[in-house]
Chains A and B, each alone.
Chain A
Amino acid sequence: MSVAASPLPAQWLHYRNEQIPRTPDGKPNLNAPAPRTADGKPDLSGIWDIEHNRPCPKEGCPDMPVGQEFFNIGWSLKGGLPYQPWAAALVKERMDSGGKDNPTTRCLPPGIIKMHTLPLFRKIVQLPGMVVILNESNTSFRQIFTDGRPLPDIDQPSVDGYSVGKWEGDTFVVQTIGFTDGIWLDTNGSPITDAAKVTERFRRINFGKLEIEISVDDPKAYTAPWTVKLNHFLVPDTELLGYSCLENEKDAAHYVK
């Protein structure tokens, strides 16, 4: 892709968003304070990109570079993820086999954690009673209910689970349960099980930066709970593109059997 395609950022629409604060020269002021909704809470709404914290390979930067956490969600942890022995063996097997069964390479949904690491944009829409995340990835969505409902008893687990959120000061705290087995948290194949409880803490540091702290408590797969922190950055003056992974998909035929 890096050799053949024109720069990918040029493909996104330009739409000047009048809600974005500007510097005197008209450029988005991404260091301005975080906006707030009518009820005084920080407004997380906006189009967000990952942190591009992975150096380009010597042959050049790809058009759509991924971050470190795309490959290893525990990249920032000193001792790595605290896998249970079976989970460590599974990750080794998945890495040794070239990630051939990675769901996202087969256009299956990534789940909420891997979604935070995809280089495709996502748009947060903060509404009364609900926060919606619209993902370019397979033009998909996620709902986080903020109307005070409790987490339900899960009789039908899913890839994204079931999410409820509440505000603790200026931090939006989201709890999610109800995951299916078979989800990959990263390209290495770190697993998560139906026992997992995921807590995300969203903090909009300023207009242009969103910090997402992800805590995973999954005693089936990990010997201890673990927490990582991701940064997302606002993408001003554009809109999401529609994206279907299966459209014109020609890779699957070449995967390792």
Chain B
Amino acid sequence: MKFAATLFFVVLAVCLTASSLSAQWLHYRNEQIPRTSDGKPNLKAPAPRTADGKPDLSGIWDIEHNRPCPKEGCPDMPVGQEFFNIGWSLKDGLPYQPWAAALVKEKTESN
């Protein structure tokens, strides 16, 4: 949780001080990406395949931004629900052993 706390403050600092972080990534037009008629990437096009016919997983990927922004506004680098709780999508949460549940409680409370 020290890491989470550190990251929280890093994220907070980024939110408060930095200009839009997404502007920091280079722009490089990838000619391998299918385009719509207006030249935008067609991300609904079929998955590409390698020469041996397997789906090609190559690419730069981002997380799913499935966590609502706090009321004070969205941070520049928002995290998803699973960043905080990897079992977030499970109905009853993660099936911890008792010692693991106690450990998670302790870590959460000391954050």
The chain A residues found within 8 Å of chain B, CB to CB, are 149, 152, 156, 162
Contact = CB atoms under 8 A, between A and B. Distances in A.
A152 B26 CA distance: 9
Which 6 A-B pairs give the minimum distances between C-beta atoms?
Answer: A156-B24, A152-B26, A149-B28, A152-B28, A156-B26, A162-B26
A149 B26 CA distance: 13
Contacts, number: 6
A47 to B, nearest CB: 22
Interface residues of B, number: 3
Nearest to B25: A156
Contacts of A149: 28
Instruction: Give the dominant DSSP class at B's interface.
Output: loop
A156 B21 CA distance: 12
A149 B28 CA distance: 9
B103 to A, nearest CB: 20
Interface string B28-47: 10000000000000000000
Nearest to B31: A147
Interface in B1-41: 24, 26, 28
Contacts of A152: 26, 28
A156 B24 CA distance: 8
A149 B27 CA distance: 12
A146 to B, nearest CB: 14
A149 B24 CA distance: 19
